[in-house]
Chains A and B, each alone.
Chain A
Amino acid sequence: MTELALAVPAAPAALAPRRRFRLMRRLVGHRSFQIGLVLLVLLTFAAILAPLTGIDPSSMKVRLRFRPPSQAFPFGTDGFGRDVLTRVLYGARVSLWIGFVVALLSGVIGALIGVLAAQFRSLDALLMRIMDGLMSFPAILLALGITAALGPRMESVIIALTVAYLPAGARLVRASALVVRELDYVLAARIAGASPLRIMLRHILPNSVSPLLVHMTFVFAYSILAEAALSFLGVGVQPPTASWGNIIAEGRDYATEAWWVMLFPGLAISLAALGLNLLGDGLRDVLDPRLKGPG
């Protein structure tokens, strides 16, 4: 039995090396992908290197309240005299982390649900109706409800957004898995006696991955925007921990006098989302050549 299974062409597990190389070259040469990657790498470095400013993000100096941007405080200071630049850098850690984890979790769980639904037809109706049900709530409202119930913490935000964004991923993977499972090499694997689980994980899943990868990049962007919205509504990451969303929420009360407090974290969110959307556009153009972008 084992020998037979080995006789099945190994190709489906991953892209053949040559094709993978070509894809990489096209990705690297793609303008949107380049800009997106640079933006994202810069922001990630900024987040990692945050402690280098040598300032405690929550140290309050009332004497230094509401200092406009200057050489000493490039982004100014907030209502507690905290350095806004430092807070934005530390906020990057929280916001990017939330976005990354949500994209990863909702992608992985969504993929499993999608493949399960495609592979085991008896589960299909049940799983997909649950996904339809979840998708019937506006994503931000669903996330709001879940975070409100679980309590305003980073973990709650991650769980809430994962639940909100998981159904779209599951649908996507199910749709492509339904196509893949009818292909000849899957039939060959089945004839060779591969178990349904093995077919699912080794053959169907890897070949349904590329639309999911594009989707996950966009979910990363949406999650950063949604985290900010949740924090703004008061159910996200709680102060004094800085997240891009709650810096804006705090700065909102004195937005007319101290505009810099809310301006910079908003710019950071926009840049991060922009970078991820560009990255997603690039990935989509290269992985799905039918949809060519503006180049």
Chain B
Amino acid sequence: MLRLITIKLLQAAPVILVVSILAFLLMSLLPGDPAVVIAGDQASPEAIAAVRHSLGLDRPFLERLGIWLLRLAQGEFGSSLMLNQSVLSAMGERLPVTLSLAGLSLAITLPVGILIGSIAAYYRQTWVDSLVMTVALVGVSIPGFWIAILAVILFSVVLGWFPSSGYVPFAQDPVLWLRSLVLPASMLSLFQIGFLARMTRSAMLDVLSQDFIRTARSKGLSEWVTVGKHGFRNALVLVITAMGILVSTALGGSVVIEQVFALPGVGRLVVQGIMARDYPLVQGVMLIYGFAFVAINLAVDVLYTLADPRVRYD
């Protein structure tokens, strides 16, 4: 176990380096002089020079890359220009919102997606299968922010069931917290449920057609044990693989959903950063998300080995 984690960590190291370099390169994509872009068109030459110096843009490319990596190694992720705050603390303030949103969305997605995907596989080629898969297909085809706006009109403006925007911290009032997140989280889940249901269905179909399922049935095990235990356990391996993608799309989707519901999370921070040309902030957030993903994928790999003893790394 420990050996496995060590191997995985060693494999993740170069990816972390690549992620750092990619985030650095993003800044070099800026056309023209980034200092001018950041300082604004009306800035005086002195102001531009100051920005250039403070960002280290007056140094050669490789030296800048070296400094960037060195700083990262010391845990320095840069600071936001518009907030006058380090990226880490700016993100720290907003992360609870995004994690609540993405977490709640995954809490809806996982049981629903797996359940309806399995049902479709079990009743394959029947109307149940067609119905469930049509719903799943619609889920992955509808733009999330669009259906979210429509949902706001229906559930907030017309029916008044949920607030149309804003966020209440959990510590302040757990009930209002949940109420402020139910609508955004369910809208975020629509794509995910569709995605997971489609994936679960094909994984289950694969498993249910295998010999050991026939053996289980023929030795008289109940359908529940056959499908629920033997079948599901095996399909779980594929579902775990999907976890990485699900977390990724949940965090990506939260950028858009936070914008619709005016939730003060990391996604909204990024969009504000982009509008304010606060590139160090955007860069920092991307970097932290990138690192988080390397960690999540690592966890997924380890879980994968736990769920399927046949998978072994040497």
* Co-assembled chains A and B: yes
Tell whether, in the assembled complex, residue B143 and residue A150 are in contact, meaning their CB atoms are under 8 Å apart.
Answer: no
Known A142-B286, A149-B29, A233-B255; judge A225-B275 contact (CB<8 A). Answer: no
A266 and B21 alpha carbons, distance in the complex (Å): 37
Tell whether, in the assembled complex, residue B255 and residue A141 are in contact, meaning their CB atoms are under 8 Å apart.
Answer: yes
Q: Does A100 contact B (CB under 8 A)?
A: no
Task: Give B251's nearest chain A residue, CB to CB.
Answer: A138
Q: Given the complex, which residues of A lie within 8 Å of B293, measured CB to CB?
A: 135-138
A295 and B134 alpha carbons, distance in the complex (Å): 12
Tell whether, in the assembled complex, residue A146 and residue B29 are in contact, meaning their CB atoms are under 8 Å apart.
Answer: yes
Tell whether, in the assembled complex, residue B205 and residue A269 are in contact, meaning their CB atoms are under 8 Å apart.
Answer: no
A232 and B296 alpha carbons, distance in the complex (Å): 29
Task: Give B253's nearest chain A residue, CB to CB.
Answer: A140
A263 and B146 alpha carbons, distance in the complex (Å): 8
Shortest C-beta distance, B202 to chain A (Å), equals 5
Chain A residue total in the interface (Cβ 8 A): 51
Q: Given the complex, which residues of B lie within 8 Å of A140, measured CB to CB?
A: 252-253, 255-256
1/0 contact trace for B248-291 toward A, CB 8 Å? 11011101100100000000001100110001001101100111
1/0 contact trace for B138-178 toward A, CB 8 Å? 10111111110110110001000000000000000000000
Q: Given the complex, which residues of B lie within 8 Å of A255, measured CB to CB?
A: 149-150, 152-153
Q: Given the complex, which residues of A lie within 8 Å of B141, measured CB to CB?
A: 221, 225, 270, 273-274, 277
A186 and B285 alpha carbons, distance in the complex (Å): 46
Q: Does B299 contact A (CB under 8 A)?
A: no
Q: Given the complex, which residues of B lie within 8 Å of A229, measured CB to CB?
A: 143-145, 256
Known A140-B252, A235-B274; judge A273-B145 contact (CB<8 A). Answer: no
Known A136-B293, A145-B26, A233-B271; judge A273-B140 contact (CB<8 A). Answer: yes
Q: Given the complex, which residues of A lie within 8 Å of B285, measured CB to CB?
A: 141
Q: Given the complex, which residues of A lie within 8 Å of B290, measured CB to CB?
A: 133, 136-137
A110 and B32 alpha carbons, distance in the complex (Å): 29
Residues 201-236 of A at the B interface (beta carbon under 8 Å): 221, 225, 228-229, 232-235
Tell whether, in the assembled complex, residue A149 and residue B142 are in contact, meaning their CB atoms are under 8 Å apart.
Answer: no
Tell whether, in the assembled complex, residue A292 and residue B282 are in contact, meaning their CB atoms are under 8 Å apart.
Answer: no
Tell whether, in the assembled complex, residue B140 and residue A277 are in contact, meaning their CB atoms are under 8 Å apart.
Answer: yes
Tell whether, in the assembled complex, residue A232 and residue B18 are in contact, meaning their CB atoms are under 8 Å apart.
Answer: no
Task: Give B203's nearest chain A residue, CB to CB.
Answer: A291
Q: Given the complex, which residues of A lie within 8 Å of B309, measured CB to CB?
A: none
Residues 13-36 of B at the A interface (beta carbon under 8 Å): 14-15, 18-19, 21-22, 26-27, 29-31
Chain B residue total in the interface (Cβ 8 A): 58
Shortest C-beta distance, A185 to chain B (Å), equals 28
A142 and B27 alpha carbons, distance in the complex (Å): 13
Q: Does A56 contact B (CB under 8 A)?
A: no
A229 and B271 alpha carbons, distance in the complex (Å): 12
A150 and B259 alpha carbons, distance in the complex (Å): 22
A215 and B236 alpha carbons, distance in the complex (Å): 23
Task: Give A255's nearest chain B residue, CB to CB.
Answer: B149
Q: Does B125 contact A (CB under 8 A)?
A: yes
Task: Give B126's nearest chain A residue, CB to CB.
Answer: A294
Tell whether, in the assembled complex, residue A234 and residue B18 are in contact, meaning their CB atoms are under 8 Å apart.
Answer: no
Shortest C-beta distance, A219 to chain B (Å), equals 13
Residues 252-276 of A at the B interface (beta carbon under 8 Å): 252, 255-256, 259, 262-263, 266, 269-270, 273-274
Q: Does A64 contact B (CB under 8 A)?
A: no
Q: Given the complex, which residues of A lie within 8 Å of B149, measured CB to CB?
A: 248, 252, 255, 262
Shortest C-beta distance, B151 to chain A (Å), equals 11
Shortest C-beta distance, B242 to chain A (Å), equals 13
Q: Given the complex, which residues of A lie within 8 Å of B88, measured CB to CB?
A: none
Tell whether, in the assembled complex, residue A273 and residue B142 are in contact, meaning their CB atoms are under 8 Å apart.
Answer: yes
A to B CB contacts below 8 Å, 15 in the list: A141-B270, A144-B271, A144-B274, A145-B26, A148-B282, A225-B141, A228-B146, A229-B143, A234-B274, A255-B150, A266-B147, A273-B142, A277-B137, A277-B141, A291-B206
Residues of B that sit less than 8 Å from A by CB? 14-15, 18-19, 21-22, 26-27, 29-31, 120, 124-125, 129-130, 133, 137-138, 140-147, 149-150, 152-153, 157, 202, 205-206, 248-249, 251-253, 255-256, 259, 270-271, 274-275, 279, 282-283, 285-286, 289-291, 293-294, 297
In order of increasing CB-CB distance, the 9 nearest A-B pairs are: A133-B18, A138-B252, A266-B146, A273-B141, A140-B252, A149-B29, A274-B141, A136-B293, A148-B274
Apart from A234-B271, A248-B143, 10 more pairs, CB < 8 Å: A129-B14, A136-B297, A140-B256, A142-B286, A145-B274, A221-B141, A225-B144, A263-B150, A270-B138, A294-B129
